[in-house]
A and B are shown apart, each in its own frame.
Chain A
């Protein structure tokens, strides 16, 4: 009964392809996030949603499109993948100030 679960855990794809990562939380939280962790382990927020509404968009290229069908799910779709998109993408949720993270989805773009 994982609190924040992401799929897939690993994703290897070619440049120019489109891919999606799914995230679900069973904590009853209203807010969900996507963070990107680069090869140097630096963590940067990409988006946050509160009850299906976009709250934070940190100047992420519009090739990245988050979608929240309900407050328990936040998916990330990436169009026209580039080499620089290779990273680990973490989903997180929050009911207050503390974030609960998923295990991450490692995306490798060849």
Chain B
């Protein structure tokens, strides 16, 4: 059981380049989320999805697009990267944990640097 897997784990982009971050979960969860984490800012929600084919904006959606064509995958796209998008990106899915709680399961993160 792989849980939540993010690819890539590290990436350096030049300003204006595009890229897609992939999040895959094998737990059949409906809800999936993309967060970014910056020093002193905590995790801020970029976009989320409540099921296959649905997406919605979070707190900081500008400059990002998402797609949820398959239930297990949630893609985050940067069309034209900017230095302000240098951050650590976490994907999460929501489901029942081992103790019966509803919890968010996170991927290992993607460290993105835009130069």
| A and B: interacting chains | no
